[in-house]
């Protein structure tokens, strides 16, 4: 998701992954699936197939971990402040974990497009001297296009890199 906020000194872009459910919603889904799976496993154990119970427990533990991991990854956030002089990027999960101050005039925003036909989305990279910083790697294709349009509207030039050749087997 891309949100644009205008500030006195420039603009701020808030970049977050799409979150379909809150943490409480994820827990409710897990509890619903757990009750269904455990109900079936208990019925099977009562019918004599007791071996189903440990596998149902392992399945629910794996599903719980997958839901937890996905919910954690959806907490990623990037904040890009754009002023006339600098690009200030902050990355983190729930709080700022990394930040960069880059001079706007000497920083290049590069769009790296995958070779056609491709199902992968284009990547955005901030490049300053030898430093390459991935920008909004969690966005889907539509949100990436929206981010590109917003950056262009704010006067940021986008350098596009297209592959020169691709080998298909």
Task: Indicate whether 122 and 142 sit together in one domain.
Answer: yes
Is 168 part of any domain?
A: no
Q: How far is CA 91 from CA 5, 123, 131, 147, 152, in A?
A: 17, 16, 16, 16, 22
Task: Indicate whether 124 and 60 sit together in one domain.
Answer: no
> For the CA atoms of 10, 99, 65, 120, what is the dihedral angle to 10 degrees?
70
Q: Does pTM top 0.85 for this prediction?
A: no
Which domain-ending residue is among 73, 90, 110?
73
Structure token pair of residue 111: 């769009």
Q: Give the total number of structural domains in the chain.
A: 2
Task: Indicate whether 64 and 104 sit together in one domain.
Answer: no
Which domain-ending residue is among 32, 53, 73?
73
Task: Indicate whether 58 and 33 sit together in one domain.
Answer: yes
Structure token pair of residue 105: 């005039």
Q: How is residue 140 annotated by DSSP? A: -
Choice between 140 and 62, residue whose per-residue pLDDT is larger: 62
Which domain-ending residue is among 73, 88, 112?
73
CATH number reported for the structural domain that contains residue 88 in this entry: 2.30.29
For residues 7 and 144, the answer to whether their CB atoms sit within 8 Å is no
Structure token pair of residue 53: 């119970």
pLDDT tens sequence across 78-131: 999 999 999 999 999 988 999 999 999 999 999 988 877 777 778 899 999 999
Q: Which domain holds residue 112?
A: 2-19+74-161
């Amino acid at each position: 998701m891309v949100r644009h906020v205008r500030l006195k000194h420039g603009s701020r872009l808030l970049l977050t992954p799409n979150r379909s459910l809150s943490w409480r919603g994820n827990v409710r889904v897990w509890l619903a699936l757990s009750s269904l799976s455990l109900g079936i496993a208990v019925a099977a154990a009562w019918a004599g197939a007791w071996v189903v119970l440990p596998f149902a427990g392992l399945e629910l533990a794996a599903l719980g971990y997958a839901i937890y991991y996905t919910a954690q990854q959806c907490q990623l956030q990037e904040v890009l402040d754009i002023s006339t002089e600098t690009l200030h990027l902050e990355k983190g999960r729930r709080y700022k974990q990394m930040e960069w101050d880059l001079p706007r005039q000497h920083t290049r925003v590069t769009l790296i497009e995958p070779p056609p036909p491709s199902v992968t989305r284009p990547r955005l990279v901030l490049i300053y001297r030898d430093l390459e910083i991935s920008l909004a790697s969690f966005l889907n294709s539509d949100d990436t296009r929206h981010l590109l349009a917003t950056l262009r509207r704010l006067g940021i030039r986008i350098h596009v890199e297209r592959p020169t050749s691709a080998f298909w087997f």
